[in-house]
Amino acid sequence: MSYCSVEDLRRILPEKVTIGDQNIGTPTPGRTSSKRSNITPNEAKYYIEYGQQYVDARLRPFYACPLRRTKNYETELDAIVTAGTNVTVTVRDSGSFGIGQLIRLQDKTGYENSTITEVISMTSFVVDSVNSTYTPDVTKVSIIEYPDPVPLITARLACSFLLDRLYTSEQSPDVSNYGKTQRNIARDAMDDILSGEVLLFGQEHTGRRFIRGSLLDAYSSPAEVQKGQEKE
């Protein structure tokens, strides 16, 4: 699974850059222009993979890569959930749940994952589909996700790679300023992870960067190298 979704990429891209299957212009009454998608969802996934490769390459000295999804939050189910589509899930407090998040319903017999499509109140939200029936007291509801800020870093990198391609194809400067800014922001966030300022909870460590400091005279890692020269 990718560290971010195509929808994450849509939120980062400028308004005029669209992702969709609409490859020909669609006439609109009263308008002379037509709307055309710049890139297909499948092509967008390739750029997300390129961003993921960069993230894995930078993190591999300290974390086992690719990273894995973990339970970021868990609470008890508060009302019965019946199999179907557009199913309402009720918990004690839905404040930690948001649209687009992947959640897991788990009881003593098994589990399944669903995606939140709507948060309707302070105690309930709607998921796209559920295949089994779950009862309170024995069911846990968990948020399953990659550690912050990895999804945002990946989306910014994928966005920058895509924009550079589009700008070059239109005979504009070979690198877009917006794409350059997104890369620099992503690199700053990556440097925070490498320096230990941001910890990726739930991930396996592969280096000595995060062991007890008293066991070492000093840290020795690529994070100590100044990264300013990488900025564009």
Burial label for 82, CB within 10 Å (0-12, 13-18, 19+), is: exposed
Region 158-184 average pLDDT? 81
Final residue of a domain: which of 120, 145, 170? 145
Please tell me the least confidently modeled range out of 14-18, 91-95, 130-134, 228-232: 228-232
Q: Which of 196, 191, 190 is nearest to 210 (CA)?
A: 196
The tally of domains found in the chain comes to: 2
Is residue 140 located within the same domain as residue 170? Answer: no
Q: Is the pLDDT of residue 91 over 90?
A: yes
Question: Could you count the other beta carbons within 10 Å of the beta carbon of residue 143?
Answer: 19
Q: Is the pLDDT of residue 103 over 80?
A: yes
Final residue of a domain: which of 129, 145, 161? 145
More confident residue, 33 or 146: 146
Final residue of a domain: which of 145, 169, 184? 145
Q: What is the DSSP letter of 19?
A: B
H or E stretch at 152: helix 150-169
Q: Is the pLDDT of residue 1 over 80?
A: no
Q: Is the pLDDT of residue 225 over 60?
A: no
Question: 165: pLDDT confidence band, cut at 50, 70 and 90?
Answer: confident
More confident residue, 153 or 168: 153
For residue 113, the domain's CATH number is 2.40.30
Q: Specify the pLDDT at position 221.
A: 61
Is residue 49 located within the same domain as residue 114? Answer: no
Is residue 201 located within the same domain as residue 110? Answer: no
Region 22-46 average pLDDT? 63
Q: Specify the pLDDT at position 34.
A: 43
**58-78 per-position pLDDT tens digit:** 999 889 999 999 999 999 999
Domain range for residue 186? 6-25+33-67+148-230
Is residue 16 located within the same domain as residue 61? Answer: yes
Q: Is the pLDDT of residue 214 over 60?
A: no
Region 109-117 average pLDDT? 95
CB proximity list for 110: less than 8 A, separation 6 or greater: 132
Question: 46: pLDDT confidence band, cut at 50, 70 and 90?
Answer: very high
Report the share of the chain in percent with pLDDT over 70: 78
Q: Specify the pLDDT at position 220.
A: 57
- Where would I find the H helices in 35-123? 41-59
Q: Specify the pLDDT at position 33.
A: 44
Region 186-204 average pLDDT? 91
Q: Specify the pLDDT at position 213.
A: 55
CA distance to 44, 46, 129, 209, per residue, from 7 (Å)? 10, 14, 19, 34
Alpha carbon distance, N-terminus to C-terminus of the chain: 30
Residue 1 lies in a domain: no
Note whether 142 and 108 are within 8 A (CB).
Answer: no
CB proximity list for 230: less than 8 A, separation 6 or greater: 187
How far apart, in whole angstroms, are the C-alpha atoms of residue 45 and residue 9?
9
